[in-house]
Structure 1
Amino acid sequence: MSRLVATDAPRLYSNGQPWRNARGRDAPRQAVETEFKAEHAVVNLSTQPPIPLVVKRLVRELRIRFYAVKTVKNYRSAWVRFFRWYRGPLDQIDQEDIREYLELLVNGGASSSEVSVTLSALRTGLDKLCLLRCTVGLVSPRKSNRSPVVMSKKEIQRMMEAARTLRDKLLLSVLYATGLRVSEVARLQWTDFDFDRQQIRVQLGKGKKDRYVMLADDLLPLMRQLWQHTKGIGYLFPSEDGRSGRHLSPRRIQRAVKRARVLAGINKAITPHSFRHSFATHLIESGTDIRFIQKLLGHTNLETTSLYTKVAQMKATAVASPLDRLGSESPASVQSSARKPPSPPSVGRMRLEVDPNPNSNGSHAVNLGIWRDGELLPLPGVLATMPRPDWVSLQIPLQDTWEPTLRRLPAMQRERLESPQFFSLVQQEVAKRLVRIRGSAPSHSKKPQ
């Protein structure tokens, strides 16, 4: 006879203890839920506030949370562009709207970095601050794995020699000697230099972290000359507009690097960050520990620093290129045809004379001047050397030497005197006269007896 048990009776073990569920991995648990409430948002978009007010409050929240100034600027621009494109209710923005906007940017030619910054700005502003959850599931785009532009030591030396001012020469030297970012170089102050310990303190670099880099001995002579103008007060590179308490803008540094690259005749896509790439690559090639290089560069992950090992290994490889063996196999030489450079703009009436008597080091003094209101204004310090019969090298002094003359010229004429085409024209004229001088020089060879 079967035994009937009530369904609502408690379940018991054989010893009479109450039965309970197992506490293993598969045991039932209470679900954890995150509740988003409109009052917790920085901006309540359900009330349809005006877009300028939304952007203003989002920017204020980023500043309160001590976001970087550049990040706030980039995020604000991304928000303004998105709100100009979006015409619907703000509280109804969904994933499909974000995808359509990102597709519009891609079709317009935006790079993966621009799309990634835009997505981060929308995720921070709409999801994190406004609690919309409209970017959930969207992944940042993949970036192209490009090798950094690295200069050789000869190219860096040519860049420094092509610097037109003492400030630009020191600027390029600091970029290469320290490996700092362009924003970090712009904010360097005289108080950051520890000359006794030969260290430079980088205050609040990327990620708001302080670090120390070495102070090269070759920087000291240039800094002593610059000390005479700044007296060791304020920024190492103060603003050009003369306002106190302001440093040189990163854009000005980029222009100085570009000007030196053009004068040096280098065709690589060199930027201020290329000096940082060259700094790390040359240290790796000289056998420096990569952990030490990571601290100098301020990288959080070692994987970021290991990128330069690939460039260094490619340069240090012992495999010879087939082009190096081409000369021994084929007697024909390969000649490259270069386009004729455009004619330089006129700088006015000038006077150019080459001293036929060379100096002790074999260089000829070039007397260069420009006429202004009936007066010949000198441009001193130009030297010309002829290391071989088919080549003339022109040595141009720092722009500070010509500053008294350039200050008396109009702005347009001054820009023409500083253009690379002008120095190319001077080199051609000096070369013609040097060849004429060398050709008319008497021969001192003895007659055969």
Structure 2
Amino acid sequence: MSDNSANTPRPRLLVQVRDCLRYRHYSLRTEKAYIYWIKYFIRFSGLRHPQEMGRQELVCFLTHLAVERDVSASTQNQALSALLFLYKTVLEVDLPWLEGFERPKRPAHLPTVLGVAEVERLLAQMQGTTALVARLLYGTGMRVLEALRLRVKDVDFERGLVVVRDGKGNKDRVTMLPRCLEAPLKAHLLAVQAQFQADLATGRAGVALPHALARKYPAAERQWGWQYVFPAAGFSVDPLSGAVRRHHLDPKQLQRAIRKAAQAVALVKPVSPHTLRHSFATHLLQSGGDIRTVQELLGHKDVSTTQIYTHVLDRGGVGAVSPLDRLPQHG
């Protein structure tokens, strides 16, 4: 039997990139971002194959991003990560200079944090499912996608906790479930379960499962515990499998609802769903919470990341009094 493997054409470059990303379980968002930057790099370099290019072309491309497009350091780093993945993992090209390439430094910015009264006004303005998600973000410190990807089985009402699966860095962790959210969450899940049962009756029930669980447990996609706590209102096509099913709530819906509520209560600070996570951490520290506990709840790898919230708590040099306030005519 002859070996025809040598005559089999290799897939196109971007197909190879996609296959390598999916084999390593990168998220769909990362896949889209990496493919975007690799395509951009190839177009910018005159449609030359990356194997024909080297340090000069890469430096020129990153300089273009910084100088002509004026992108942020984080965007530059994302583009560099995409090219590192292309050369090292996909093309398997040994380029020592690329490993040691200096990454752009991200400037340190203090996060936007709402006051307790501002959070109260914001949440009071919201209604429906997006209001429940927003309260959960502020009450648990979860990231937006962590909350939207939450499965029914990972909400533990008895112990008052939420299990966050595959958080940043593909790590699991546990965070608190606010007692005040137990009743509204249970009522919400009753409605979601009724919708799920209706989908089962029409043969359209099913949910995307992480990694290879769909092959290992083929019936799990139709089990109640694996369903999303916050499913989408309608069906959509899964871009990875092509299956038609309910995805989770679109993050854009939450973003729009929070932005609209912030405008309605005249908040002058820029507010996004992530602002609620920042506010959770700051208010927890403000009420006497231990920084190591906050680090664990947020899922930070290093406590130095959590320490930025201690800077938010500082009031003008750790509470020092301004000289102007000491003048009699102003005091």
Q: TM-score range by the shorter chain?
A: 0.7 to 0.9
The offset of 1:330, in angstroms, is 5.8
Superposition CA RMSD, Å = 2.4
**Is residue 111–residue 278 contact of structure 2 (8 Å, CA) maintained in 1?**
yes
**Is residue 95–residue 136 contact of structure 1 (8 Å, CA) maintained in 2?**
no
Give 2:17's aligned residue: 58
The letter of the residue matching 2:16 is: R
Partner Cα separation in structure 1 for residue 192 and residue 165 of structure 2: 21
1:185 aligns with 2:155: no
Give 2:288's aligned residue: 287
**Is residue 166–residue 222 contact of structure 1 (8 Å, CA) maintained in 2?**
no
The letter of the residue matching 1:123 is: L
Q: Deviations over 1:110-150 (max 9, x none)?
A: 11111111011111102343105262442110111100111
Deviating more after overlay: 244-253 vs 208-217: 244-253
- Please list, as runs of the form range in 1=range in 2, the aligned pairs for 1:414-433 lying within 5 A after superposition: none
Give 1:125's aligned residue: 86
**Is residue 234–residue 246 contact of structure 2 (8 Å, CA) maintained in 1?**
no
Partner Cα separation in structure 1 for residue 149 and residue 157 of structure 2: 18
Q: Deviations over 1:236-285 (max 9, x none)?
A: 21113256531012222211211111112101111111111111111111
**Is residue 300–residue 306 contact of structure 2 (8 Å, CA) maintained in 1?**
yes
Q: TM-score when scaled to structure 1? A: 0.58
**Is residue 291–residue 307 contact of structure 2 (8 Å, CA) maintained in 1?**
yes
Give 1:162's aligned residue: 125
**Is residue 178–residue 213 contact of structure 1 (8 Å, CA) maintained in 2?**
yes
1:104 aligns with 2:68: no
SS at match of 1:77: helix
The letter of the residue matching 2:30 is: T
Give 2:176's aligned residue: 214
Partner Cα separation in structure 1 for residue 321 and residue 193 of structure 2: 53
**Is residue 166–residue 226 contact of structure 1 (8 Å, CA) maintained in 2?**
no
Answer 1 or 2: higher relative contact order, Cα 8 Å, separation at least 6: 2
- Relative to its length, the structure with more helix (as a share) is 2
Query: Unaligned stretches of 5+ in structure 1?
Result: 1-48, 332-449
The letter of the residue matching 1:94 is: G
Q: TM-score when scaled to structure 2? A: 0.78
**Is residue 186–residue 248 contact of structure 1 (8 Å, CA) maintained in 2?**
yes
Deviating more after overlay: 166-175 vs 148-157: 166-175
Q: 1:62 to 1:242 in 2, by over 3 A?
A: closer
Partner Cα separation in structure 2 for residue 314 and residue 145 of structure 1: 18
Partner Cα separation in structure 2 for residue 64 and residue 223 of structure 1: 36
The offset of 1:82, in angstroms, is 0.8
| Counterpart pick for 1:94 among 51, 54, 57 | 54
Partner Cα separation in structure 2 for residue 136 and residue 246 of structure 1: 38
Deviating more after overlay: 132-141 vs 64-73: 132-141
1:237 aligns with 2:230: yes
Give 1:225's aligned residue: 187
Partner Cα separation in structure 2 for residue 319 and residue 78 of structure 1: 47
Partner Cα separation in structure 1 for residue 73 and residue 317 of structure 2: 32
Equivalences, count: 280
Partner Cα separation in structure 1 for residue 24 and residue 150 of structure 2: 25
Higher-Rg structure is 1
SS at match of 1:200: strand
**Is residue 73–residue 106 contact of structure 2 (8 Å, CA) maintained in 1?**
yes
Partner Cα separation in structure 2 for residue 237 and residue 316 of structure 1: 43
**Is residue 34–residue 79 contact of structure 2 (8 Å, CA) maintained in 1?**
yes
Q: 1:189 to 1:137 in 2, by over 3 A?
A: closer
Give 1:258's aligned residue: 259
- Please list, as runs of the form range in 1=range in 2, the aligned pairs for 1:45-444 lying within 5 A after superposition: 53-87=12-46, 88-107=48-67, 108-130=69-91, 131=93, 133=95, 135-163=98-126, 165-231=127-193, 233=224, 234-241=227-234, 244-314=245-315, 317-321=318-322, 329=329
Deviating more after overlay: 193-202 vs 126-135: 126-135
SS at match of 2:163: strand
Partner Cα separation in structure 1 for residue 122 and residue 228 of structure 2: 24
Partner Cα separation in structure 1 for residue 189 and residue 100 of structure 2: 55
Deviating more after overlay: 147-156 vs 267-276: 267-276
Partner Cα separation in structure 1 for residue 45 and residue 294 of structure 2: 46
Partner Cα separation in structure 2 for residue 187 and residue 136 of structure 1: 34
Q: Deviations over 1:131-179 (max 9, x none)?
A: 052624421101111001111000000001111x221221111010000
- Please list, as runs of the form range in 1=range in 2, the aligned pairs for 1:16-27 lying within 5 A after superposition: none
